[in-house]
Amino acid sequence: MILTIDVGNSRIKGAVFEGDTILELFVFEKKELQKKIEFILKKYPNCTYLVVASVGDVEKKTFLAFENQISIHFMASNDVFPFVNKYETPKTLGIDRMVLAAGAVLKYPKCNRLVIDAGTCVTYDFINEQDHYLGGAISPGIQLRYKALHDYTSKLPLLELGSPESFIGASTGASIHSGVVNGLVCEIKGFIEQYQEINPNFIIILTGGDTDFLAKRLKNTIFANSNFLLESLNQTFQYKIEND
């Protein structure tokens, strides 16, 4: 069994895998990390590896406290990946984006892939059919957009995520919801259209915390999977073991 942990900017997600099958998913706050790992390892004592991908501010020593119980591996850019990294600044490429790209290559071989991760930030990553990672884009996620409107203006309120009733907002609140939600949906559609102009034959993978909310608003044929990063982390680690 493999326990995968994804440390994001906002929260932590984990999953226990038996082969490629998820046995259980976990979502929790950073302050709960140590107790959650203790709980998971007691519940699944046959876990042999703890595999971590982190873009958050959790210290490694929190994980290393368990190194007497389980083998721990922190995914890093110098690991073995199933693609050729063509990014101009490869050392600055986030490990989450690298793992997602690896998962796309392993799950959807011999095709062009666009991975859209809708979390704190929205990232776009393109890997062509030759398994060359070419790069993509980074933009603010839904919650960042709401927060920015409040933090950088004097009168706009901080709203929770909501579904716009109309494209035309008839109040300040409705206008904010329309601008944030419809703005991001239009952005995603626009990016997809730009990639289609370059190469019309590719698959789209949508993942991240806002997957379900956004998927129903996108008409494009997409593979929506909010757990794709955890699945990719499991598959990438298995690929590393086989190819090191």
Residue 201 has pLDDT above 90, yes or no: no
Tokens of 96: 């989450």
- Specify the pLDDT at position 30: 85
Q: Residue 166's pLDDT is what?
A: 85
Give, for 102, the enclosing helix (H) or strand (E).
Answer: helix 95-107
What is the DSSP code string of 48-75? Answer: -EEEEEE-SS--HHHHHTTTTTSEEEE-
For residue 219, the tally of other CB atoms under 10 A from its CB is 8
Same CATH fold assignment for domains 2-74 and 84-233: yes
Tens digit of pLDDT for each residue in 143-200? Answer: 999 999 999 999 999 999 988 888 898 899 999 999 999 999 999 999 999 999 988 8
Is a pLDDT exceeding 80 seen at residue 244? no
Q: Strand, helix or coil at 140?
A: strand
Measure Cα distances from 121 to 82, 141, 243 in Å. 25, 4, 31
Residue-wise pLDDT for 63-86, tens only, equals 998 989 999 999 999 999 999 999
Q: Which CATH class is domain 2-74?
A: alpha beta
Q: Which of 25-39, 124-138, 195-209, 214-228 has the largest mean confidence?
A: 124-138
Judge whether residue 48 has pLDDT over 90. Answer: yes
- What is the structure's pLDDT at 9? 81
Query: For 12-28, what is each residue's pLDDT tens digit?
Result: 999 999 999 999 999 98
Stretch 238-243: mean pLDDT, rounded? Answer: 92
Summarize the confidence of residues 229-236 as an average pLDDT.
96
In this structure, the strands spanning 132-140 and 84-85 are parallel
In the CATH hierarchy, which fold is given to the domain comprising 84-233? Nucleotidyltransferase; domain 5 (3.30.420)
Secondary structure percentages of the chain, helix, strand, coil, to 5: 40, 25, 35
- Domain-wise residue ranges, the chain: 2-74, 84-233
Residue 243 scores a pLDDT above 80: yes
pLDDT score of 199: 86
Q: What are the Cα distances from residue 99, in Å, to 4, 36, 148, 181, 183?
A: 12, 23, 28, 27, 27
d(CA 66, CA 59): 13
Among 103-107, 127-131, 210-214, 221-225, where is mean pLDDT lowest?
221-225
Residues taking part in catalysis:
96
Higher pLDDT, 220 or 70: 70
